[in-house]
Amino acid sequence: MEYYDTDSVRLSDDENSVIIIDQTLLPNRTKLLYLSSAEEIFEAISSLRVRGAPAIGICAGYAMYVISRRISSSDTEEFLDKLSQVGEYFSSARPTAVNLSAAIGRCLSAAREHKNGSAAEIREILKQTALNIHLEDIHMCLKISEYGLTLVKDGDGILTHCNAGPLATSRYGTGLGTIFLGSERGLKFRVYADETRPLLQGARLTAYELDKAGIDVTLICDNMASFVMNEGLIQAVFTGCDRVAANGDTANKIGTSGAAILAKHYGIPFYVFCPSTTIDLSCRSGKDIPIEFRDGSEIRTMFFSSPSAPEVKCLNPAFDVTDHSLITAIVTENGICLPPFEKSLRGSLKK
């Protein structure tokens, strides 16, 4: 079995828990968590034990089903009201990634469409909806990876930022999917992985996944991206994203926009990979995308044996917005979207 044939999020056999790989412990320790309560699920999402927009969506789908089994009510309206409250609670865990709220909304819509059924029947609908969200993501990741292979060639150097592999999605991944699929087919890529401060998703997760799969990966600090580009080591930049606005602006892990600006300067194509579920046409531009701000202690103390800075104020946005003018193409399971993105993104959603 290949590394990317595993699932980082899945439903337990007894259907009472959502099983996740605790990503905060990687790469030094691999631990499965069984999340059974709403509080445990909320904490896992907010603390990044499960992360990556598609993976959060998959987790949310299973979570809605698991928690529905804990709602005891013979009155359907009361059952749906309690389910909606749970959905609102989960949605507040991380506001930027649209897949979280989208998966919850899909589950609630499916439940309401069967409001004339019993609670048991609605639970079965929720289970099937969650399974569909997961299976669709597996299919989407493979399609995205196939399209991505048309953008690169054997021997290319690829810069990555954050993590958009199997841990963040399902199976192949989005931003890393092309690299995994190409490697499977005999292509040799040279990957330069930004460490991605302050939470080190590139160092802890991307480098881990690529190395485990036997792919040539070199870890660099975020501020070394300009150096490797200037040296001619990079032929493309691959990133995932957590939300795409109607005009093509994308929100992704903090530091992504800086990599895009550098790529533009050096004439290197900058590609964003995401499932169509990440496209949010209700956001006209990146200015409409809510940005999550996290505790400053992540900058000063996380991964350090002692604080790395004095107790000064810290600004810790989890995401930034990459302007559409810096993006060469947005790759979804429905094809490669090119500028003008207002037209191509809408067209991709109709396929």
Q: Give the residue numbers annotated as catalytic, written as ranges.
A: 242
* Cross-strand bridge partners of residue 245: 280
Return the biggest CA–CA distance within the chain: 67
C-alpha to C-alpha distance for 229 and 235, rounded to whole angstroms: 8
Task: Indicate the helix (H) or strand (E) that contains 337.
Answer: strand 335-337
C-alpha to C-alpha distance for 152 and 283, rounded to whole angstroms: 30
Cis amide linkage into residue 198, ω under 30° from 0: yes
C-alpha to C-alpha distance for 56 and 62, rounded to whole angstroms: 10
Contacts from 105-109 at CB under 8 Å and sequence distance 24+?
A: 106/61, 106/133, 107/60, 107/61, 107/64, 107/65, 108/64, 108/80, 108/83, 108/84
Phi, psi of 161 (to 5 degrees): -135, 135
Hey, CA dihedral for 204, 206, 211, 216, is it positive or negative?
A: negative
Q: What are 25's two structure tokens? A: 């412990």
